[in-house]
Amino acid sequence: MTTTVAALSTPKASAHFETVELERRDLGAHDVRIEIRWAGICHTDIHQARDEWGQGIFPMTPGHEIVGVVAEVGSDVTDHRVGDRVGVGCFVDSCLECEACRDGEEQFCAQGVVQTYSSKGYDGEVTYGGYSEQVVVRDHFVVAIPDGYADDDLAGVTPLLCAGITTYAPLRRYGVGDGTKVGVIGMGGLGHVAVKIAAALGAEVSVLSRTDAKRSDGEQFGATAYHATEDESVFDDLQGHFDLLLNTVGDAVDLDAFLGTLGRGGTMVNLGAPSDSLDVGAFSLLTMRRSVAGSMVGGLPETQEMLDFCAEHGITATVEVIAADQVDDYYDKVVDGDVRYRAVIDVATIGAK
C-alpha cells in the first residue's frame, strides 16, 4: 500500500517545476513517515535538476534539507514517535555494516550511500526528495530537532541539514576552538553558516569575499574581520595568517593565492564542487607544509551533534521563505547570488490551490 502526495517535480533537465502526484511507500518495520513542513534549496539541487553533473534521474523531485513532523512509525522504530519534530539530510540509506558505517560516517558507505533524491535504493527504486508533502525514511537516517528550537525557528533550522553539517564537520575535524584563526572563502548559503558555527566554537573568523557588499552581515554573524579579495593586496597582508580555510565557493578560485594566507601546517578545505579541476602549484603546498583537503557533509551521529550544538548556541541559517510557485525563479536567484542566504520552501504551498 502506498500513499499519494503532492510534490514538485522537474520532468527533464532544466525544465520548469510542475506539481505532480508522488507515491510514497508503505512503512517497513524500521521506517518513519514524515509530514514535511520545510524544504531547503541547496545549490546541489540546482546542479542536479539542471543535470550539470550528469547522471540525473528524471523526473526528479529534489530536496535534501527536510524538516517536518513524524506522522507514523514502523513496528520496530524506537527512537522517534508520532508528533516528534525531525529532520532528514542528504542520505536515506546505507549498508550500516561496513567500516565507514560502523564509524558513523555513512556518507562513505562501501556499498554506496543512498542519496535522498535522484538515487537508486538497494531495492532498485528511485528516491524522491523533500519538495513534497511527505517522505518515508529508514529510522537511522532521521535526526531529532532539539527542544531548544521554537517552532518559529524551524525554517532556519532546515538548511542546517546540509549547510550546517557540511561546515560543522571540517571545523570539528581540524580542531577549531578558542583562538583558532579561520578564514571563510565566500559568504553565501554555506559560508554564512560557517561563520556562525566557527564563531560559536571560539575561533577568530575572517570572511574572504570578492567585494565589501556583505561586510555588515559578516560582522553580525560573528566575523572578527572581513576582507574584499578584489583588492589583491589582501593576499599580501594576510600571508601566513590562518590556521584553517574553508572554501565554500562553488566556482574555481585562485588556490595558490589563498594557500599563501595559511600559516605553517595550515589546511584549506574545499566544500564546494566546481566542475573544473582544482589547480595548485607544488610550492604552494611545500612552503610552510600546507595542505588542500576536501570534506563531504557528515554522518548521522555528527549531524545530530551539530544540531544539538547549534540549538545550544541559537544558530539557524538566515533564510528567505518562499512558496512552491517561486522555486523556478529562486533557482536563478541562488545562481546569481541574490538570496540572503538560503531559500526555504513552505511545503504547505505545494498542494495549495
Architecture of domain 3-162+317-349: Alpha-Beta Complex (3.90)
Bridge partners for 137 per DSSP: 32
Q: What average pLDDT score do residues 209-216 get?
A: 96
Looking at residue 276, what is its pLDDT? 77
What's the pLDDT tens digit per position in 307-345?
A: 999 999 999 999 999 999 999 999 999 999 999 999 999
What pTM was computed for the model?
0.96
What's the pLDDT tens digit per position in 232-281?
A: 999 999 999 999 999 999 888 999 999 999 999 999 999 987 777 889 99
Looking at residue 273, what is its pLDDT? 79
How confident is residue 353, by pLDDT bands cut at 50, 70 and 90? low
**Separation between Cα atoms, residue 187 and residue 210, nearest integer Å:** 9
| Buried-exposed string 254-270: b where 16+ CB fall within 10 A, e elsewhere | ebeebbbbbeeebbbbb
84: its cell numbers? 516528534
**Separation between Cα atoms, residue 152 and residue 290, nearest integer Å:** 43
How confident is residue 63, by pLDDT bands cut at 50, 70 and 90? very high
Secondary structure class of 163 (helix, strand, coil): helix
End-to-end CA distance of the chain: 27
238: left (phi over 0), alpha (psi -120 to 50) or beta: alpha
Residues of each domain in the chain carrying CATH 3.40.50.720:
163-294
Whether 206 shows a pLDDT value over 70: the answer reads yes
- Express as a percent the part of the chain with pLDDT over 90: 95
Residues of each domain in the chain carrying CATH 3.90.180.10:
3-162+317-349
**Separation between Cα atoms, residue 35 and residue 86, nearest integer Å:** 10
CATH number, domain 163-294 = 3.40.50.720
Q: What is the DSSP letter of 154?
A: H
What's the pLDDT tens digit per position in 108-127?
A: 999 999 999 999 999 999 99
Secondary structure class of 197 (helix, strand, coil): helix
Query: How many residues does this entry show for the chain?
Result: 353
Give the contacts of 246 (CB within 8 A, at least 6 positions apart): 167, 170, 171, 182, 183, 184, 185, 191, 194, 198, 269, 271
Measured N-to-C along each axis, helices 189-200 and 300-312 cross at an angle, to the nearest 10 degrees, of 70
Q: What angle do CA 53, 127, 330 make, to 5 degrees?
A: 55
Q: What average pLDDT score do residues 82-93 get?
A: 98
Looking at residue 352, what is its pLDDT? 76
**Residue 293 neighbours by CB distance under 10 Å:** 14
163: left (phi over 0), alpha (psi -120 to 50) or beta: alpha
